[in-house]
Amino acid sequence: MARWKEVEFSRSQIIKAGKTIRKTEASEEEIAQATTIINNWRAAHAYPLHVIYIHLRGMAANRQDIVVAERLKRLDSIVAKLKRQPTMSLWEMQDLGGCRFIVPTVPEVYQYAKKYKSSRIRHQYIETYDYIQSPKTSGYRSLHLVFRFNSDTKETYNRNMLIELQFRTHLQHVWATAVETIGLFTKQALKAGQGDAEIKRFFVLISSLFAIRENCPVVPNTLNEVNELIAEIEQINDDRHLLDMLKAIRVAVDHEEDERLDKKGYYILIFNYNTKRLRIKYFLPGDIEEANKMYSQIEATRADAQIDAVLVRAASFKSLKVAYPNYFLDIGEFVDIVMEYLG
């Protein structure tokens, strides 16, 4: 049986930790204490996340073309979000725990989101963010539902545990992971709207191209005209050779215990910026406490070791690669689709 982490700090301590971590003048001791609290608060989301993940897996049980995965938000992403949004409270952060539900078509996005929302769940529905009908200016497109976890059997987790469900099409997923991949490779927070302006514009234009392909609204500040979008994409690509860069990106994968890697469970993906190698650590479904402990230890050395890491859960190694191809720098499909448009 899994030993699920419980919250060890009060609401006020969690809120204070979020405020402390964004302070530039905070001492090392204050940062260390705040990090301990954040790690515990995040780890405690694993059980609510597990419950919702299992429900979503059940919804997709008979579909081989649907991918379901879960992840706990990376520490540096938590810190960056708190600094980027000064009014945000750590207690109210909506995506410390997130589930990804990837389907072939746009109608299925709304079909399965509605199916989950209307199913027999006790979790409190909070809000819907429809970035398909209203794409972000970054080009990001997906449907997000946020729920506050509620349990009749484990009262300890009924403490404002917010879980974000991302429903997206395969094409939207291909785009999003290509952005994350080049951001990971170039160490630019493109996903958060930071970094090279031309690279960001390149992906915005392609997102609109994909939106037209799915009969959906295009991204703000782009034209709803395929030929115009292609012309601008070609111009940027001629100047920056971004498709050549994407095609050249490859990563070598090191992993332990190969015979267990294609089973369901938890995986820590550790990407080394210097060597461009990916290490994978696998944990059985019941070893979540051990996985969380190692996740925190790895993140503590992240800056010095020049690494990036994420703790995720998937039904198999194959579905893991589909759900998180950015960590495998596997964006061949994205390049192929764009090249079709460019001839």
Any domain includes 3: no
Q: Tell me the backbone φ, ψ of residue 41, rounded to 5 degrees.
A: -60, -45
Mean pLDDT of 291-298: 87
Q: What is the pLDDT of residue 256?
A: 46
Any domain includes 295: yes
Nearest residue to 210 (alpha-carbon basis) of 308, 313, 108, 341? 341
Q: What is the pLDDT of residue 251?
A: 57
Q: Are residues 70 and 48 in the same domain?
A: yes
Residues 261-281: tens digit of each pLDDT: 567 788 888 878 777 777 888
Q: What is the pLDDT of residue 292?
A: 87
Q: Are residues 105 and 210 in the same domain?
A: no
Please count the other Cβ atoms lying within 10 Å of the Cβ belonging to residue 86: 8
Residues in the chain: 343
C-alpha count within 13 angstroms, C-beta hemisphere, residue 81: 16
Dihedral angle sign, alpha carbons of residues 66, 68, 73, 76: negative
Q: What is the pLDDT of residue 310?
A: 80
CA 322 to chain centre: 13
Return the CATH number at 132.
Answer: 3.30.460.10
Q: What is the pLDDT of residue 91?
A: 96
Are the CB atoms for 101 and 60 separated by under 8 Å? yes
Domain span at 185: 176-249+332-342
Q: Are residues 169 and 180 in the same domain?
A: no
Q: Are residues 151 and 291 in the same domain?
A: yes
Any domain includes 124: yes
Mean residue pLDDT of the chain comes to 86
With H, G, I as helix, E, B as strand and everything else as coil, classify residue 323. Answer: helix
Is a pLDDT exceeding 60 seen at residue 301?
A: yes
Is a pLDDT exceeding 60 seen at residue 326?
A: no
Q: Are residues 90 and 163 in the same domain?
A: yes
Beta-sheet pairing, 97-103 with 67-72 = antiparallel
Percentage, residues of the chain above pLDDT 90: 50
For residues 190 and 323, what is the distance between their CA atoms, to the nearest angstrom? 19
* Axis-axis angle for helices 75-84, 28-43 (nearest 10): 110
Residues 151-196: tens digit of each pLDDT: 887 788 888 999 999 999 999 999 998 888 777 677 677 776 778 8
CA 221 to chain centre: 25
CA 292 to chain centre: 17
Mean pLDDT of 29-55: 93
Q: Are residues 227 and 277 in the same domain?
A: no
* Nearby residues of 33 by Cβ (< 8 Å), 6 or more positions away: 17, 20
DSSP state of 262: T
Structure-token pair, residue 27: 């001492």
Any domain includes 2: no
Q: What is the pLDDT of residue 80?
A: 87
Structure-token pair, residue 219: 């991204």
Any domain includes 5: no
Q: What is the pLDDT of residue 200?
A: 92
Q: Are residues 157 and 189 in the same domain?
A: no
Any domain includes 4: no
Q: What is the pLDDT of residue 262?
A: 60
With H, G, I as helix, E, B as strand and everything else as coil, classify residue 47. Answer: helix
pTM: 0.82
Of these ranges, 142-146, 189-193, 266-270, 335-339, the one predicted with the greatest mean pLDDT is 142-146
Q: What is the pLDDT of residue 250?
A: 59
For residues 209 and 171, what is the distance between their CA atoms, to the nearest angstrom? 11
Q: What is the pLDDT of residue 101?
A: 95
Q: Are residues 236 and 265 in the same domain?
A: no
Mean pLDDT of 19-38: 92
Instruction: Give residue for tokens 């990407």.
Output: 271
Please count the other Cβ atoms lying within 10 Å of the Cβ belonging to residue 99: 24
Lowest-pLDDT choice from 24-28, 100-104, 113-117? 24-28
Nearest residue to 99 (alpha-carbon basis) of 48, 64, 62? 48
Percentage, residues of the chain above pLDDT 70: 90
Mean pLDDT of 27-45: 94
Number of domains in the chain: 2
With H, G, I as helix, E, B as strand and everything else as coil, classify residue 274. Answer: coil
Structure-token pair, residue 53: 């993940």
Lowest-pLDDT choice from 102-106, 224-228, 253-257, 335-339? 253-257
Is a pLDDT exceeding 60 seen at residue 7?
A: yes
Mean pLDDT of 97-117: 96
Any domain includes 6: no
Looking at per-residue confidence, does 311 or 255 come out higher?
311
Q: Tell me the backbone φ, ψ of residue 222, rounded to 5 degrees.
A: -130, 160
Q: Are residues 188 and 320 in the same domain?
A: no
Give per-residue burial for 272-310: e unless 16+ CB within 10 Å, then b: beeeeebbbbbbeeebbeebbebbbebbeeeeeeebbbb
Any domain includes 229: yes
Q: Are residues 47 and 106 in the same domain?
A: yes
Q: What is the pLDDT of residue 259?
A: 43
Q: Are residues 132 and 221 in the same domain?
A: no
Q: Are residues 214 and 78 in the same domain?
A: no
Q: What is the pLDDT of residue 324?
A: 66
Is a pLDDT exceeding 70 seen at residue 224?
A: yes
Is a pLDDT exceeding 70 seen at residue 323?
A: no
